Amino acid sequence: MSTSRAAILPAALRPWAYVTLAKPDVTFLVVISTFAGFYMGATRPLNVLLLVHALIGTTMVAAGASALNQYIERAADAMMRRTAGRPLPLGVLRPSRALWFGVGLAVAGSVYLAVAVNLLSSLLGALTCVSYLGAYTPLKKRTTLATLVGAFPGAVPPLIGWAAARGSLSVEAAVLYLILFLWQFPHFLAIAWMYREDYSRAGIRMLPVVDRAGKATFAQILGYAVALVPATALPTVLGMTGVNYLFGALLLGIALVQVCLWAARTKSNVRAKWLMHASVIHLPVLLTLMLLDKIWR
């Protein structure tokens, strides 16, 4: 790249770069999970203003955590085809800009939640950010158990929403946490299988990197998908939802298990990609069924 182009390119791409640092796709899943937690925990009439505050604060924390994750992993990202086009490997942003952008968003989001919502939602948001960056991120180069560790903070968004609505947590909130916790494994292991060569090149010890035949990887994918089926029935057991949701949840769960079995037969990247898409569809549809059921009851 010439000197003149290097000087022009960062300025031209900087707005895109900051959006990319926030990982809009990941942040979107965080937002809808937080929304579901709030709505399921709320009493009528719905406090719309409080909901908006909760979503704004959670979005800021999630975006900040994503930016800081890219700052920490910028060297590894440069070695993987999937992530080499991110702003830091491309040199579109200086690392210091990404660092302060991430810190600013995460801190501002936590403070916003504390002031505009409540202290519990703020503490949950901060705990999610710290554990994601302080435990999951560094463990990715040390052990395949990093995925398990990362699933704990990854399932917190519905708790933030519930805490925002109620100011406390409960067994019902724990059920939402369990559903999101289990859902993450088929989703992320499918992605890890698709990009196992990338992860290997970057020295990231995802399970498919050490499980070259895929036996353990797809066994875990299937096991967690099967466990997800009864877990999604628990809201009805606890009286949070009715029979309409239950039937829909069971059908969704069985369909996801079928896709897992289909992907496990050949263990091809193509089928793993279909599984990844199926999981992305599964969660929003499941949460929508849950919310609609509460509206109709």
- Show me where the domains of the chain are located: 11-149+156-169, 170-297
Q: Summarize pLDDT for 148-165 with one digit per residue, the tens.
A: 999 999 999 999 999 999
Q: Which amino acid is at 158?
A: P
Lowest mean pLDDT among 1-10, 94-103, 109-118, 266-275: 1-10
DSSP 75-115: HHHHT-TTTTTSHHHHTSS-HHHHHHHHHHHHHHHHHHHHH
Segment holding 277, helix H or strand E: helix 269-296
- DSSP-derived 3-state class of residue 168: coil
Name residue 179's amino acid: I
Q: Which residues contact 271 (CB under 8 A, 6 or more apart)?
A: 262, 263, 265
Compute the half-sphere exposure of residue 120: CA atoms within 13 Å on the CB side of its CA.
Answer: 14
Q: At how many degrees (to 10) do helices 215-237 and 243-266 cross?
A: 180
pLDDT score of 3 more than 50: no
Is the model's pLDDT at 6 over the cut of 60? Answer: no
Beta strand segments in 84-157, E? none
- Compute the distance between CA of residue 52 and CA of residue 62 in angstroms, rounded to an integer: 15
Among positive and negative, which fits the CA dihedral 125, 128, 131, 136? negative
What φ, ψ does residue 43 adopt, rounded to 5°? -105, 155
pLDDT in tens, 88-124: 998 888 999 999 999 999 999 999 999 999 999 999 9
Provide the pLDDT for residue 1.
42
CATH of domain 11-149+156-169: 1.10.357.140
